[in-house]
Amino acid sequence: MLVINRVRIEIDTIKGKYGFDRSFTKGLNFIVSNGNTRGKSAILLAIYYALGFEQLIGGHGSQILSKAYKKKIKDGNVELNVLESGVYVEISNGMQVNTLYRAGKSENRESKLITVYKGDIDQVLSNSCSRKDYYVNMRNSATNEFGFHHYLEKFLGLGLPIVPQQDGSERKLYLQLVFSAMLIEQKRGWADFYSSMPNLGVKDPKRRVPEYILGLDKLAIAKKKSELKNRETDLKNRWYSLREDIFMEAKLEKFLVDSIPLKPEIIDNDSIKGIKLIYADQGEKSVEDIIEDFRNEINRLSNLEPKIVDNYEELETELIETELEAEKMRDKVSKLNKNLITEQNKIKSLEYNIQIIENDLQNNYDARKLKKLGSDIGVSTMEGKCPLCNQSIDDSLLPTDVDYLNMSIEDNIRHLKAQKNALEYALANHKNNLDSTKNDLYIINENLSVLRRLAKFLRNDLYKVDEDVSEAMIYKRIELEKKVESILLLNESFQNKKKRFKEISDEWKEYLNDKANLPSGDLSEDDTDKLNEFESNFIDNLESFRFSSELDYKDLTISPLTYLPEMDGFDMKFDSSASDHIRVIWAFTLALLQTSLVKNGNHPGLVIFDEPAQHSIVLQDLVALFKCIQSIKGDHQTILAITINSNEINEVLNEFEKENNIIHLEDLAFKKFQS
């Protein structure tokens, strides 16, 4: 938690030290004055400034500080030049007390520097504690160990989450964003929820901040989900490519593969045995049978009389069969070659067309830019108006037919993109076809050359002297042995791949388990619980502040998407009066604190309202706000800056004075220090 213990503002003038030095307590604190421009906001500015939150005011460095810090202060009727200024803010995290010092106007100290003293302000003034300098609102000051916000995060024990950025990277949630939900500044703060939130490149900060403050698991869940999604596609891809590999290898040896599912599945040891190679040709035999067959054949061949004279007729029929087979293959080859050429042509023409469309697209992008450039310098034709008669004209040079609708450039670009997608899809398909055709050709050519060689040896045998050894037979034996060898190799790699299938399947099992562990929606049960609590706190607060736009409180909900109040599903700020809008912001800001305190969220516990009585809020409601804050249980600190504009409010404050800290500015806030 964060508690402001004491604020000391020092302003050096030629007549000595002026400034402000008061303590704050836990719970409710008031800073009040009888008139405006007495320095209430200047005191609050000191807190913003010392915490390095000037971006919430809308400026950089000492820019945001008021005149009293930088130019002149008044003492009675005398105006004094400000020589140097600086602010001390003593903060506590519930265990330790540290003091922050940041210079406002100074000749030799940069305003980017914040000094952290390990002690309270008294120790600082007596120079009896150690100190360390940090820099703020510079590159990496939220993550670097010399960055002030890095220090502050650690001091407060906040543990900020890593969140997605607009540019797609991930970085820590910034402290400024978190505090914009609890420090409501006078000028901009009352305009909307989180209206002072600076743009620091975080994506959807208005969702990330309440998620963090309420401690929702949503972001973690979303991250896990996208991680799971990645794992899923990775596993699927690996499974698919492994399957393709196996099919490819098997096909080379004329084998088919049985029962590998297309997508990852849980496979147990029994079903992994079911995955097997089947010989494509002869009656679907298994690897073992085929090897057995081939070995038998080899044996038969070696037992055979290797003399031609014994089997002349056999040789002749075999030659005819072989040549017939080769003829069939040649036929197939020519068909495949035709396919190959068609596919190649199609790919060429598609690539050409895609090139043209890309060119068109580029030119259309140019046209869009040109139109913008032209309308920037007031060229009527680029604004879609006729330069002569100012009537609207189409952005077209084709003969204008009244009944024709023409596409705008945006539509045209979309149209071209769609065309390009279609062509690219076709191109990918044709490339696939080309690859598989090439593969088939390779296999068939391989087989064909075996047949040709066999035919050649057979022919040689036929014309040889009868007593010679048959070349064909020897060739067949060699071929068969080669085949057996490669089938054995295939089988070995197949067994290895089966093991890898099993591995992927195990990972798949794990993945399914992790997926089942995640909640089905975006929110965990805890999250829903917290949001319900938040919603009921918000509505209770509104009721006590007498939110008056005639509405049923039952219709109010907190959207689980944006975490903002909604009425019948619509943003409620459109349907409420100005003063009601202020009540909504009170209720919302306090509900965040209340919910976080009850549900162990990450709210730092500090709330600052500068002039909460905006837009003619009546006293009764203001009192309701005080009471509501007073009734919040748990460690928190609220600072309200209020202008007293009636006697009634004074009476009310007197009542609250007993239990709460009231800093009453009689005159100007900055007075001469007694020394």
Partner 1 sequence: MLDINYENDVDFTQRPNPIPYNYRLSYKVSQICLILKLSVARGGVSMTKIQMLASALLSEKEDKQLVNLIKGSSWNYVVRYDPTVIRALKYAMFDNLVIQQGNEKYRLSDKGQAFVRKIQHDENLMTREKNFLNTYSLKVTEDMINMLMVQWRYDDASDK
Q: Tell me which residues touch partner 1 (CB under 8 A).
A: 360, 363-364, 366-367, 369-371, 373-374, 376-382, 386-388, 393-398, 404-409, 411-412, 415-416
- On the CB side of 256, CA atoms within 13 Å amount to 10
Of 522, 487, 521, 474, residue with least CA distance to 252? 487
Rounded Cα distance between 132 and 152, Å, is: 13
DSSP letter string over 411-431? HHHHHHHHHHHHHHHHHHHHH
Question: Is there a contact between 394 and 381 (Cβ–Cβ < 8 Å)?
Answer: no
Helix (H, G, I), strand (E, B), or coil: what is residue 116?
A: strand
Q: How far is the CB of 344 from partner 1 (least distance, A)?
A: 23
Closer Cβ to partner 1, 404 or 425, answer by number: 404
Q: How far is the CB of 431 from partner 1 (least distance, A)?
A: 26
Closer Cβ to partner 1, 17 or 369, answer by number: 369
Closer Cβ to partner 1, 392 or 647, answer by number: 392
Closer Cβ to partner 1, 228 or 407, answer by number: 407
Closer Cβ to partner 1, 235 or 416, answer by number: 416
Q: How far is the CB of 355 from partner 1 (least distance, A)?
A: 11
Q: How far is the CB of 358 from partner 1 (least distance, A)?
A: 12
Question: Is there a contact between 111 and 61 (Cβ–Cβ < 8 Å)?
Answer: yes
Q: How far is the CB of 408 from partner 1 (least distance, A)?
A: 8
Q: For residue 11, give every residue at least 6 positions away whose Cβ sits within 8 Å of its Cβ, in sequence order, or none.
A: 17, 18, 19, 68, 69, 73, 82, 84, 85, 670
Q: What angle do CA 496, 500, 504 make, to 5 degrees?
A: 170
Closer Cβ to partner 1, 154 or 415, answer by number: 415
Closer Cβ to partner 1, 367 or 426, answer by number: 367
Closer Cβ to partner 1, 348 or 615, answer by number: 348
Q: How far is the CB of 351 from partner 1 (least distance, A)?
A: 16
Rounded Cα distance between 248 and 234, Å, is: 21
Of 46, 133, 128, 60, residue with least CA distance to 90? 46
Helix (H, G, I), strand (E, B), or coil: what is residue 352?
A: helix
Residue 88, judged by CB atoms within 10 A of its CB (0-12, 13-18, 19+), counts as: buried
Q: How far is the CB of 388 from partner 1 (least distance, A)?
A: 5
Alpha-carbon separation of residue 402 from 133, 383, 393, 399, 525 (angstroms):
73, 19, 11, 10, 60
CB neighbourhood size of 405 (10 A): 8
Q: How far is the CB of 383 from partner 1 (least distance, A)?
A: 9
Closer Cβ to partner 1, 76 or 378, answer by number: 378
Which run of H or E residues covers position 643? strand 637-643
Q: How far is the CB of 380 from partner 1 (least distance, A)?
A: 5
Rounded Cα distance between 444 and 447, Å, is: 5
